[in-house]
Amino acid sequence: AQSVTQPDIHITVSEGASLELRCNYSYGATPYLFWYVQSPGQGLQLLLKYFSGDTLVQGIKGFEAEFKRSQSSFNLRKPSVHWSDAAEYFCAVGAKGRRALTFGSGTRLQVQP
Partner 1 sequence: GAGVSQSPSNKVTEKGKDVELRCDPISGHTALYWYRQSLGQGLEFLIYFQGNSAPDKSGLPSDRFSAERTGGSVSTLTIQRTQQEDSAVYLCASSLVMGMTYNEQFFGPGTRLTVL
Choose, by CB under 8 A, the member of 14, 54, 96, 113 that binds partner 1: 96
Among 16, 98, 110, 112, binds partner 1 (CB under 8 A): 98
Smaller CB separation from partner 1, 15 or 22: 22
User: Cα-atom radius of gyration of the chain, to the nearest Å?
Assistant: 13
CB contact at 8 A, 81 and 21:
no
SS3 helix, strand, coil % of the chain, rounded to 5? 10, 55, 35
- Site stretch for partner 1 (CB under 8 A), options 13-21, 58-66, 69-77, 98-106: 98-106
Count of residues near partner 1 by CB under 8 A: 23
- With respect to partner 1, which residue has the nearer C-beta, 100 or 113? 100
Alpha carbon of 72 to those of 10, 26, 42: distances in Å? 21, 7, 29
Contact (Cβ atoms closer than 8 angstroms) between residue 34 and residue 51 = no
- Interface residues with partner 1 (CB under 8 A)? 32, 36, 41-46, 49, 51, 90, 92, 94, 96, 98-106
